[in-house]
Structure 1
Amino acid sequence: MIILIPAYEPDARLVALVTELSQAAPETHVLVVDDGSGEAYSAVFDAVRTLGAEVIGHEVNLGKGYSLKVGFRHILTRYPGAAVVCADSDGQHRVRDILRVADRVALHAGRPDAPVVLGGRRFTGQVPMRSRVGNTLARQAFRFTTARSIRDTQTGLRGYPATLLEGLLGVYGDRFEYELNTLLEASAAGRPIDEIDIETVYLQDNASSHFRPVADSLRVMRPLLVYGAVSFGSFLVDLLALQIFVAATGSLGLGVVAARMVSASVNFMLNRSLVFTTAQPRRLRREAAAYAGLAVSLLAASYVGLTLFTQLGLPLLAAKLATDVILYLVSFQVQRRVVFARSRPQPSLSVPTVTRPVGCASGAGSPPARA
Structure 2
Amino acid sequence: MQAVVGAQGERVLVVIPTFNERENLPGIVTRLHAALPGAHVLVVDDSSPDGTGDVAEGIAAQDTALRVHVLHRTEKDGLGKAYLAGFAWGLARDYAVIVEMDADGSHAPEQLCRLLEAINAGADLAIGSRYVRGGELINWPKRREFLSRGANTYARLALGAKVHDITAGFRAYRRTVLEKIDLGSVESAGYCFQIDLAWRAVRAGFDVSEVPITFTEREVGESKMSGGVMTEAFLMVARWGLESRIERFGLRKN
Query: Taking structure 2 as the reference length, what is the TM-score of the superposition?
Result: 0.80
For the 8 Å contact 2:138–2:214, the answer to whether it is kept is: no
CA distance, structure 2, for counterparts of residue 83 and residue 31 of structure 1: 13
Residue 333 (structure 1) shift: 4.6
Distance in 2 (CA, whole Å) between partners of 1:225 and 1:107 is: 33
AA aligned opposite 2:201? A
Q: 1:225 to 1:132 in 2, by over 3 A?
A: same
Check conservation: 2:137, 2:216, Cα contact below 8 A. no
Larger radius of gyration: 1
Tell me, what secondary structure is at the counterpart of 2:112?
helix
Q: Counterparts of 2:174 and 2:240 in 1: how far apart (Å)?
A: 31
11 and 40 in structure 1: CA distance in 2 versus 1, 3 angstrom threshold? closer
One-letter code aligned to 1:15: P
Alignment counterpart, residue 102 of structure 1, candidates 113, 116, 134:
116
Contact 1:173 1:181 in 2 (8 A): yes
The answer for the alignment partner of 2:52 in structure 1 is: 41
Partner AA of 1:174 in structure 2: A
* Residue 215 (structure 1) shift: 2.2
Q: Which residue of 1 aligns with 2:7?
A: none
Quote the Cα distance in structure 1 between the aligned partners of 2:166 and 2:207: 14
Q: Determine the structure 2 residue equivalent to 1:358.
A: none
Does the CA contact (< 8 Å) of 2:191 and 2:233 recur in 1? yes
Shift of residue 126, structure 1, vs aligned partner: 4.5
**Number of the residue aligned with 2:158:** 145
Tell me the residue number matched to 1:18.
29
Give the drift of 1:22: 2.0
Q: Which structure has the highest strand share of the two?
A: 2
Residue from 72, 80, 89 that aligns with 1:65 = 80
The correspondence for 1:50, drawn from 25, 42, 61, is 61
Amino acid in structure 2 at the alignment position of 1:90: D
- From 188, 191, 195, the equivalent of 1:180 is 195
Q: C-alpha displacement at 1:60, in angstroms?
A: 1.3
Shift in CA distance, 175/182, structure 1 to aligned 2, threshold 3 Å: same
Higher alpha-carbon deviation: 185-194 or 24-33: 185-194
Residue 28, structure 1, aligned to residue 42, structure 2: no
- Any stretches of 5+ residues in structure 2 without a counterpart? 1-11
Q: Does 1:169 align with 2:178?
A: no
Q: What's the secondary structure of 1:195's corresponding residue?
A: strand
Aligned-pair Cα RMSD in Å: 2.8
Matched, 1:120 2:35: no
1:331 aligns with 246
Q: Spell out, residue by residue over 1:130-167, the C-alpha distance to the aligned partner (whole angstroms, 9 max, x if none).
A: 42243123212221123233222221101100111223
Helix, strand or coil: the match of 1:4?
Answer: strand
Query: Normalising by the residue count of structure 1, what TM-score does the alignment of the two structures yield?
Result: 0.56
Distance 1:39 1:148 in 2: 39
The equivalent of 1:158 in structure 2 is 171
Q: What is the aligned residue count?
A: 233
State whether structure 2 residue 213 is matched by structure 1 residue 198.
Answer: yes
User: Higher helix fraction: Structure 1 or Structure 2?
Assistant: 1
Question: Is contact 2:129–2:211 with CA below 8 Å preserved after alignment?
Answer: yes
Identical counterparts, % of pairs: 23
Alignment of 1:1-371 (within 5 A): 1-38=12-49, 40-52=51-63, 53-77=68-92, 79-108=93-122, 114-122=123-131, 124=137, 126-166=139-179, 167=181, 169-170=183-184, 171-204=186-219, 208-212=222-226, 214-225=227-238, 330-331=245-246, 333=248, 339=252
- In the TM superposition, residue 56 of structure 1 has moved relative to its aligned partner by 0.5
Q: Relative to structure 2, which stretch is displaced further, 2-11 or 99-108?
A: 99-108
CA-to-partner distance for each residue in 1:300-343, whole Å, 9 max, x for gaps? xxxxxxxxxxxxxxxxxxxxxxxxxxxxx7436557xx9599xx
Gaps of 5+ in 1: 109-113, 232-275, 277-328, 342-371
Q: 1:210 to 1:221 in 2, by over 3 A?
A: same
1:14 is matched by which residue type in structure 2?
L
| Partner AA of 2:128 in structure 1 | G
Question: Aligned partners of 1:143 and 1:42: how far apart in 2?
Answer: 37
Deviates more, 1:147-156 or 1:53-62: 147-156
Which residue identity lines up with residue 100 of structure 1 in the other structure? R
